[in-house]
Chain A
Amino acid sequence: MKHTPANHEEWENLIAIAALEGLEPAESAALERHLATCADCRQALADYRHVAAQLDQMIPLVTAPAHLEQRLLGQIRRPARRSPLRWLAAVATVVALLLGGYSWNLRGELQRQTSALAELQRSLAGPNARLIPLSATSNVAARGQFTWTPGQAVASLVVEGLPLLEPGHVYQLWLVRKDGTIDPAGTFSQAAEGEIRATVRAPVGWSNYANVGISAEPASAPKQPSSTGIVQGDF
C-alpha cells in the first residue's frame, strides 16, 4: 500500500520508536495493522531493529561476579523438575531450527510434522502466549498443555499419557465457550509413545472460551461430549 509522503513519514516515526520498543500499546496495534498491508514499512522496521540490535552491542563489557555460576546451579537443582514443558521445549527447539533453515535430522517423525509443529512453535514462542495446564479428571496419568495467543488463530495442544482407546473410538477435543456452547475442535487417535501434538483452530476468538477438554468418543464424532472428559483445563 502506498502512502502520501506525509503519512509515510508518520509511519516511519512510529516504526523507529517501535524498533526501540517504546510505543504506547494503541500505537503498536495501529502499526501492526499497517504493517500487515505495507511491505515498505515492514522492511523499514526490520532495518531499524537491526540498528537497535547494534546499539545493544555498544554498551561497556564488564566481568560478572564469579559466584553467579554456583548460584545458578544451586537454583536449578533445588526441585526435581520434570514438567511436560521440558520435552515440549525440546520439540519446539527442533522446530525452530527447521524454520531457521538448518538441516536437522533428529527424528523423521518430526520432519513429517514440520508444518504443524512450526505452527505450534509460533504460537509457543510469542511473548503473549497463554498456557493452560490440562490435568486428568480421574485417576489416570494423563496431562498436557493448551497454548494460545491472543489475536492468533492457531493454538497448540500437547497431551501425554492418555489411556488406550477402545476399538472404534477417537479422542475428541472440546472447547467450551463462556456462554456454555460446546465446540468440537478436532479428533485424534492413539499416538505413538502416548503423546499427542496438535494444532487447534476455533470458530470464534480464544477469549470467548472458558474450558478445554478431551474425551474418548465413538469415531462417528458426536456434537456433544458423551463421556466424561479425560483431561481438562480452564481458560
Chain B
Amino acid sequence: MSGDVHLLIRIASGDETALVEFHRQYVNLVFSMALHVLHDHATAEEVTQDVFLTLWRRAALYDPARGSVKSWLLTIARRRAIDYHRRQAHLPLRMDEIAVGQQPNVQLILPDLDLRDAVAALPGDQQECVTMVYFGGLTHTEVAERLHVPLGTVKSRIRLALRRLRQTITVFSEDT
C-alpha cells in the first residue's frame, strides 16, 4: 500500500500530523492548479486551503481504484478553482495564459515531453476549446457562444484533440 494511502487513512481518523505531512507533500501541486485556473494569488490560496480542509473532513472519499492520489488532488483542485471562479466572475480568466503545453521554459508537474509536444502540435483552435472547457470550466455550449462558432464545430474540435492525445499516450505507454 502506498505511503499516500497510509497518510489518508490517518487523516481520515483525525491525525493532525498526517495532515501536515500530506500538506507539505502536496500543497505546491494544489496551489499550482488553483493558480493556473484562477490567475489570482489570493483566491488560489483560498482554494488551496479549502481543498485541504475538505480532505481533512472527507479523506475517505479517495478511492484508490480510480487513480493516484496526485491525480485525484489535481481533479479536486481544478474543480474547486472553477467553482470559485464561477462565484467570483470578476476574476480574470485568460485563455491565452492557461493553455496547456505552451510554456517551454517552466517546470511542469509531469515533464512528459512527448505529451507536451503532442499538445503543442494540436491546431490552435482545438487547444483553445479543450482549455476553455477543462481549465475554464465552460460547457461546450458556452464555448461555442464565446467563440461564435457552431456547436458541432466545438464538439468535433474537442473530439479530434482528445483522439490525437489518446493515440500519443497509447503509443508512449506501449513504447515504455
Q: Hey, which bits of chain A sit against chain B, CB under 8 A?
A: 9, 12-14, 16-17, 19-24, 47-48, 50-65, 68-69, 71-73, 75-77, 85-94, 96-97, 99-104, 121, 124-125
Contacts and interface: CB of A to CB of B under 8 A. Distances in A.
Interface residues of B, number: 75
Contacts of B133: 17, 20-22
Report whether over half of chain B's contact residues are helix, strand or loop; otherwise say mixed: helix
Contact of A97 (B56, B64, B135): B64
B76 to A, nearest CB: 10
Contact of B19 (A76, A93, A125): A76
Given A69-B23, A73-B20, A93 B108 contact: no
Given A55-B134, A62-B35, A102-B5, A93 B12 contact: yes
A55 to B, nearest CB: 6
B93 interface: no
Given A72-B53, A93-B8, A99-B65, A57 B60 contact: no
Given A19-B162, A56-B33, A13 B156 contact: yes
B138 to A, nearest CB: 7
Contacts, number: 204
A68 B158 contact: no
A93 B59 contact: yes
B49 A75 contact: yes
Contact of B108 (A22, A53, A57): A57
B80 to A, nearest CB: 12
A57 B71 CA distance: 8
The residue among A72, A88, A101 with the most chain B CB atoms within 10 A of its own CB is: A72
21 contacts: A12-B163, A17-B158, A21-B79, A23-B140, A47-B166, A51-B165, A54-B112, A55-B100, A55-B130, A57-B112, A58-B112, A60-B107, A62-B35, A63-B31, A73-B16, A87-B13, A93-B60, A101-B65, A103-B1, A121-B60, A125-B61
